[in-house]
């Protein structure tokens, strides 16, 4: 039996939201979408953490979802972030995404208010039962303050429309428990853990570094899927410094937006409380890009 949500396997990219003078730059956004389609990316994930969803207004959040769906026009899959720590708001957003043509919905665990495990279950159950979209449970306790325990995910896996998990706990044991006890499709939520997670049965990644080098992340995933461990390891070690910098220099999406600015693909503009990298941090990031073969002083 195949996995629920297997159609969403492969490389998904957690898209940035480009800004210009404080407003969303839809012209540049369209260019970024076309870049991903040309690169063979399987699915786009706008308005997640990387897309600065916490500082988008509700109107902007809706507009971005509609814009990405319209621009993609069915050429690749779209799974926007429609999560909230308010179940009613998550439901409103998810229904809107369904109406404008999204293929699935990325549902972050309710954050800050720290529900009980039963609260998590009822939240995701409500979303699954009141919309027709496949739901991806996004478990990232480092951001939300609380883990969705494997046993809760086991229960949720029994529901129709709960098809995927974005696994960002950093725990191979948790991922293994989910893969052993459910038929959900697991996608890595951390670029640097894509190879380890795929080694235990995950089927891809929702990638930040894919904003920069989508073809290379796809090559890693394809090597893993084909069982070519040596090739997969080669891509893992090549990509690792970039993956490290995207999450290690500063909070996501500050480094990836800075990298895209260096590469001439984004303004690098952020919304408070996100602030630019310090000059020394930007120098370090540019060195990593150059060593990879990217940036202003690329080593060829």
List the catalytic residue out of 138, 146, 257, 292: 138
CB 46 within 8 A of CB 65: yes
pLDDT in tens, 3-60: 898 999 999 999 999 999 999 999 999 999 999 999 999 999 999 999 999 999 999 9
Q: What is the pLDDT of residues 140-157, one digit of tens each?
A: 999 999 999 999 999 999
Output the pLDDT for position 296.
58
145 in Cβ contact with 111 (< 8 Å) = yes
- pLDDT, one tens digit per residue, over 172-198 is 999 999 999 999 999 999 999 999 999
Superfamily (CATH) of domain 6-226? Aldolase class I (3.20.20.70)
Answer whether 242's CB lies under 8 Å from 207's CB: no
Q: Is 125 a catalytic residue?
A: no
Q: Are 87 and 115 in contact (CB under 8 A)?
A: no
Strand segments, DSSP code E, in the chain are 10-14, 19-20, 23-24, 43-45, 77-78, 105-108, 135-139, 162-167, 185-188, 204-207
Catalytic residue among 4, 77, 146, 166: 166
pLDDT at 295 over 90: no
138: annotated active-site residue: yes
């Amino acid at each position: 039996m195949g996995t629920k949500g297997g159609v969403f396997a492969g490389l998904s990219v957690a898209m940035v939201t480009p800004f210009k003078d404080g407003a969303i730059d839809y012209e540049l956004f369209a260019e970024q979408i076309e870049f991903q389609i040309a690169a063979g990316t399987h699915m786009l994930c706008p308005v997640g953490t990387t897309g600065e969803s916490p500082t988008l207004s509700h109107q902007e959040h809706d507009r971005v979802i509609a814009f990405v769906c319209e621009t993609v026009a069915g050429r690749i899959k779209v799974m926007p972030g429609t999560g909230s720590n308010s179940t009613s708001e998550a439901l409103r957003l998810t229904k809107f995404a369904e109406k404008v043509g999204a293929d699935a919905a990325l549902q972050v665990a309710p954050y800050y208010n720290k529900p009980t495990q039963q609260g998590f279950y009822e939240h995701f159950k409500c979303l699954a039962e009141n919309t027709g979209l496949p739901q991806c449970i996004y478990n990232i306790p480092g951001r939300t303050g609380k883990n969705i325990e494997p046993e809760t995910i086991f229960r949720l896996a029994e529901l129709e429309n709960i098809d995927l998990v974005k696994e960002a706990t950093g725990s191979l044991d948790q991922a293994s428990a989910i893969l052993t006890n459910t038929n959900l499709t697991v996608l890595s939520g951390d670029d640097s853990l894509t190879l380890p997670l795929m080694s235990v049965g995950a089927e891809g990644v929702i990638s930040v570094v894919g904003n920069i080098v989508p073809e290379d992340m796809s090559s890693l995933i394809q090597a893993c899927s084909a069982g070519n461990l040596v090739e997969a390891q080669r891509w893992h070690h090549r990509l690792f410094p970039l993956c490290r910098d995207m999450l290690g220099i500063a909070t996501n999406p500050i480094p990836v937006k800075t990298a895209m600015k260096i590469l001439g693909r984004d303004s690098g503009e952020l919304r408070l409380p996100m602030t630019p990298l310090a000059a020394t941090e930007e120098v370090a990031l540019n060195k990593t890009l150059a060593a990879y073969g990217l940036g202003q002083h690329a080593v060829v």
